[in-house]
Amino acid sequence: MSSASGIRETRSMLLNIGPSHPAMHGVIRLITELEGERVVKVNAEIGYLHRAFEKSCENSTWNQSMPYTDRLNYVSPLINNFGYCAAVEKLLGIEIPERCKYIRVIMSEISRITDHLTCIAASAMELGAMTAFLYFMKAREYLYDILDETAGARVTISYGRIGGVKADLPDGIEERLELALKKTEKEIHEVDLLLTRNRIFVDRTRNVGVLSKENAFNYSITGPLARSAGISYDVRKAFPYFVYDRMDFEVPLGELGDNYDRYLVRMEEMRQSIRIIRQCMQQIPGGPVSLDMGGNTMESFDLVDQAKLGHTAGLVGVTSTVEPTLEGSERPFHDRILVKDKQVSLPNKGDTYGNIEGLMNHFKLVMSAHGIRPPKGDTYFAVEGANGELGFYVVSDGKDRPYRVRVRPPCFFGMAGLHTMLEGYMVADIVSTFGTINMIAGELDR
């Protein structure tokens, strides 16, 4: 506007985006300063979804914290499960069974794919590419079916256990998993054809939201964000855990660190995850298991009723058939998926229901003021989450509850550097750039 002297005066405008906004991927407030359509300054205000994750863990037993980890990044919850379990296992000084290590890698990589599918699908939809969204949601359903069949749930899964996993892989999963992977590869190929060389998509993402390598270092950013800027850091390669050191896979890198590079990195990471899963299925030890003690079987509810009546003679050698959500946790599978340590692992249901030793063991592990008791000390364990380095720092004072739990949420650091990726660009680029950060509010605010 013009002043009295006739000199044109320029004023910036303040625009709030969120916290209640459909494109905010949760609840977050961006306070933006605009000069026309150009973004001058951005301040990201977080904390709207604070769930007290760390304090909730410190007021729960070591095992009761598992559902809380699911709700950090609820798009890839299994990686959270296994990261927390591995930190406590490191504190306990225990080694999980070989088969369990492979199962954890398989389920982690399935989770990584579902996370990247969701991120790319949502980001593309926000640019108007609704077809790509539908293709990737269809692909995610294929993998969710595998998760559901294996763990008994699709989203908040709680499949991890300190010392192992909840249950073994179901019978015949190899064929169904391979079919799901082939279908997923087909959808990835379809979206690749739709977007990668699409003139509109490239123009909206190339040289937009650039994150320099220097800024990525300064803000401690890891994961696809950092790799798109050319930083070759992946926890699976730098500090191998489980059986990642036995896997042959590549870490894709970008050059410019823009929105387009972040898209390409995630697309290639999904292909590499599929490659890892197939290697695991080829190498995983174990196979068909035979029933022990003659293979006598009873329905689990009959076993419980007989035990309640005191008719326990002969029940030690009985294998119980369980409901679908407990399949793979029966006695024949137990030693393949959990450590042989009564102070850590819950007994199988057959022993819990069928003999006093199993019942006492179960009781001691779940009752208040007992349970798992790691020695006094502290440790840090990091895994490669879908957004980068996901680390758990746990402190034990020798009791049945953590003295301190601290999580390093990877998208927190991406959000800290978000303003550098938005300032200088257009208002229309805010939503698309924000989508490539893959901010998950449960992980960010904790």
Place of tokens 């320099």: 212
CA torsion sign for 169, 272, 385, 138 is negative
Distance (Å, whole) CA 440 – CA 27 = 9
Q: Are strands 377-385 and 318-321 parallel, antiparallel or unpaired?
A: unpaired
Cβ contact 81:74 at 8 Å: no
Domains and CATH numbers, the chain: 54-286+380-441 (1.10.645.10), 293-366 (no CATH)
3-state secondary structure of 104: helix
Tally of residues, the chain: 446
Cβ contact 19:29 at 8 Å: yes
CA torsion sign for 105, 111, 115, 118 is positive
Cβ contact 202:124 at 8 Å: no
The tens place of each residue's pLDDT in the chain, 446 residues long, gives 445 566 777 788 999 987 888 878 778 899 999 998 999 999 999 988 888 999 999 999 999 999 999 989 989 999 999 999 999 999 999 999 999 999 999 999 999 999 999 999 999 999 999 999 999 999 999 999 999 999 888 888 899 999 999 888 988 899 999 999 999 999 999 999 999 999 999 999 999 999 999 999 999 999 999 999 999 999 999 999 999 999 999 999 999 999 999 999 999 999 999 999 999 999 998 754 433 444 466 666 676 677 677 776 666 666 666 656 667 777 777 788 888 888 888 888 777 777 788 889 988 888 887 889 999 999 999 999 999 999 999 999 999 999 999 999 999 999 999 999 999 999 999 999 999 999 988 899 88
Cβ contact 330:297 at 8 Å: no
Distance (Å, whole) CA 238 – CA 274 = 20
Q: DSSP assignment, residue 28?
A: -
Distance (Å, whole) CA 54 – CA 414 = 20
Structure confidence at residue 300 (pLDDT): 63
Cβ contact 26:435 at 8 Å: no
Alpha helices in 50-153 (DSSP H): 53-58, 66-70, 77-92, 98-126, 130-151
Residue 54 neighbours by CB under 8 Å, 6+ apart = 404, 405, 406, 407, 446
Residue 301 neighbours by CB under 8 Å, 6+ apart = none
Residue 238 neighbours by CB under 8 Å, 6+ apart = none
